[in-house]
Structure 1
Amino acid sequence: MTLAAFLGRVAADAALAEDFAAICDTGGRLQGSASAARGFALMAERMAAIGPVSDEPTPYAGWTCHEARLTDLASGRDLACAPLLGAAATPPEGLVLDTLDCGRGAPGAYGEAAGRAVLARHEYPFAAWTVHRRVKLNAAAEAGAAAFLIVQPEPGVGPVSGSSGRGGGEGIPALGISAEAGALLAEGRRVRVTLRGEDHAATTPTLVLDLPGRSEDRVVLSAHLDGHPLGESAIDNGTGLAAALCLARAAAPFVPDCPRGLTLCVFGAEEWALAGSRAWLAALPAERRARMAVNINLDSIAGGSSLTALTSGFAGLGPFLRDAAAAVGLPLRTHLPLMTNSDHANFAAQGIPAARLVSGFDEPGSALRYLLTAADTRAVVPVQELKAATITAGALLWAALSAPPEALAALPSAR
């Protein structure tokens, strides 16, 4: 039972590339779509080959878009757009509005937004300086904007997608648009915004593979399956899913002798403001949550030149993970402040030490800039880069599985 033997299994696992390709083959995996159903079926099959798998269905505020259209009235041309998930509907005939360019769109930029369709720029999502899309949308709505248009900054990529975070509540119509559409509308145009969406109750699968160790405690390895229909959701999050399968396969023979067991969770409705994992964790018996020693969340782990662990405000978790990577000569960056940009945030909210492993942090030129667009395909993920990231994730997982109890006991209090 050695770290070298475990990482050797990870490095030799030819199925990593095969799994990644098969996951991408299922499509963008928009929650509630046939593509997502194919993805969950594939993951359930792959996980069942490792050990016993259960599906723990989880409720979330579902939404189906029947029509999304943005029409420039001067030319009569429909502009490329994508609805933000769960966004509020317009009247059937749409809304005729004047556009207002609010630049970056950070809070405070919407002083003249009342009654208009406001434009805000989409930002690289993985940087300390980023203002999240939903922060901008909420600020626009509070300022009285009638619609929100978030602009993909890079030409030739098409519109950007994302979640509105509305969850069936109050809100305004919201669309992602392309850089080209944004350049046109920034001039000040009159547009018709048409968004026909239907709110409904829904459930997402939550796939759980549990491998017992020597105690009842568990390390939770997690990854989300759902994505967006514009591409293959390859970086976000085919990379995390394929790596999670590889690590579970490699760990399975060793876990029975480890101080704690391994639980692999595959979540849905992550792109819906993290709704799936939030509801799943909230519904668990308190004693089951109390046995979760640490969460390692794999989300978008390839596409950049470096890996960063977002350690959710747990001061001791960064040094623990950096030491785990350094023990096998691997670099790892850490970012301490909580970032609520993946399922790790819901574990942290429950007091469970949680980290998201992500590629490309503070690298705005990396392939991570293609997330939420049609360019998020397997073509931008070199297989060797995915393998290297999986090996690093393996070093972190092994440390969490094998560390003496006192090494993990201090983590929840060091926040």
Structure 2
Amino acid sequence: MSLPLADYLRAVQNDPALWADFNALCDTGGRLAGTPSEAAAQAWCASRLDAILPGAVTRRDPTPYAGWVCHVAEVRAVNEHEASTASQPLVATPLLGTASTPADGLTLDVLDLGRGTPEQIQAAGDAVRGKAVLVAHEYPFSTSTVHRRVKLAAAQAAGAAAFFVAHPEANVGPVSGSSGRGGAPGIPAMGLSAESATVLKQPGARVHVRIDAEDLTGAQTDVLVLDLPGAGPDRVVLSAHIDGHPLAESAIDNGTGVAAALALARQIAPHVAGLQRGLTVCIFSAEEWALNGSREWLAKLSSEVRDRIKLNVNLDSLAGSPNLTALISGFAGLAPLIDTAARGASHPIGQHLPLMSNSDHANFAAVGIPAMRLIAGFNEPDSALRLLLTPADTRDLVDESVLRKATATAGAVLWTALTASNEQISTLSAPNNEQ
């Protein structure tokens, strides 16, 4: 082996371009798929991948996704004695891909269902029908989280006419996220600030919502792919998503993951040809669109190429807390690999076994490829990750030393996967996760 693990981790943690790359990516803005911000970020990232190894060429794999653009999105609290045009505007943002309202909007009674679990929505019965249902946004990275799309689907099935999800913290602004509609039938769905939600929680509250949006036919983005062959035919896929939301800089989610992936690839590239298996770096987009980009990319792979992928290490939101967790997608065979990597990094890595479909690793798992997401702040609702999907997700939330340590720890996971024996790798996807 040409490079000891300790030397690799030291090089990763001290990578001179890591912090500069993170800031350069934040400089491109929120990177919503289909916008000039995303295009600029992808062009920048492709140039950084091209520079990793002389002669290596970054592919751009065109990938369709359920494109959508919003022209107008507004919410107003309606006083029963006023016309909707004279009512109080509220701070809100449309959920990505949401359905439109009629041209003149909808004026609706508000039904506040608190947390808004499917059980609470079902228990409300006919009271939901024709209402604007208001629910709470939850910290997305915990064992008890109920995802916004689960709540939205339950409200739509119960006959709600519109859906609002509100961030619980004041002075943060509205919360964004995907509606998951993907061009299918749906109801208007918006994210609100805590202050806006307070207005709509008043007894007898009514709201006027108007959304003018359109689904785009033939929308596509690119997956940036850099393939670095190893000594054998198999591959480990190192992934991160570059797209985000227009509310801020999408810094934690996921400027941190992209910058880390570039650093890991940069430091391993000169040595990977002598390792047990090769490295494929995938920078996905349209992740924020219900994981659309990676799903479509995997579906287009030949069975031969897919069978050579032995593991996906997905980096998504690596800062905001010094604590890292591996979400190992139901693959119990990944646990020993994570333990080995944690010892190599001299940094603990928590583990969560059940599949969580909250980033691109879930699509690898869905086609039978062992997959993990490395994330900071799991089960830490007071961490900075509570501010993802809001205007507060800026580079100010990220401490350079925390990002560097997280990147080195991710490096230990990657190194362990690239250098493990074929026998060890074969246990990752044993039937029924039996070893």
* Length-normalised TM-score, structure 1: 0.99
Matched, 1:271 2:276: no
Question: Helix, strand or coil for the counterpart of 2:263?
Answer: helix
Residue 108 (1) aligns with residue 119 (2) = yes
> Aligned runs of 1:7-406 on 2, under 5 Å?
7-50=9-52, 51-74=56-79, 76-110=87-121, 111=124, 112-187=127-202, 188-201=204-217, 202-406=219-423
C-alpha deviation, 1:72, in angstroms: 1.1
For residues 58 and 173 of structure 2, the distance between their equivalents in structure 1, rounded to whole angstroms, comes to 38
Measured against aligned partners, the alpha-carbon deviations of 1:32-81 in whole angstroms (never above 9, x if no partner) come to 01111111011001001013100001001100000100011217111000
Measure the CA separation in 2 of the matches of 1:271 and 1:28. 11
The answer to whether the Cα contact below 8 Å between 1:305 and 1:366 also exists between their aligned partners in 2 is no
C-alpha distance in structure 1 between counterparts of 2:345 and 2:110, whole Å: 54
When the two chains are superposed, the root-mean-square deviation of aligned CA atoms in Å is 0.9
Runs of 5+ unmatched residues, structure 2: 80-85
Q: Counterpart of 2:67 in structure 1: which amino acid?
A: G
Structure 2 CA distance for aligned equivalents of residues 139 and 145 of structure 1 = 9
Alpha-carbon distance in 1 for matches of 2:341, 2:197? 45
1:247-299 CA distances to partner (integer Å, 9 max, x unpaired)?
Answer: 00000011000010000000010000000000000011010000001000000
Q: Tell me, yes or no, if the aligned pair for 1:322 and 1:333 is still in contact at 8 Å.
A: no
Deviations 1:176-225 (A, max 9, x none): 00000101101131111101110012001100000000111000000001
Retained in 1: the 8 A contact 2:14–2:404?
A: no
Q: Distance in 2 between matches of 1:70 and 1:18?
A: 39
- Comparing 9-18 with 346-355, greater Cα deviation is found at 9-18
Distance in 1, matches of 2:120 and 2:185, equals: 21
SS in 1 for 2:428: coil
Q: Is the 8 A contact 2:227 2:280 kept in 1?
A: yes
Q: Which string of whole-angstrom CA distances, capped at 9 and with x for unpartnered residues, describes residues 9-35 of structure 1?
A: 212211000000000000000110111
Any runs of at least 4 consecutive aligned residues in structure 1 with deviations exceeding 2 A, and if so which? Answer: none
Q: Is the 8 A contact 1:219 1:292 kept in 2?
A: yes
In 2: Cα distance, 1:148 partner to 1:7 partner: 46
Aligned length: 415
Question: C-alpha separation between the residues in 2 aligned to 1:382 and 1:49?
Answer: 26
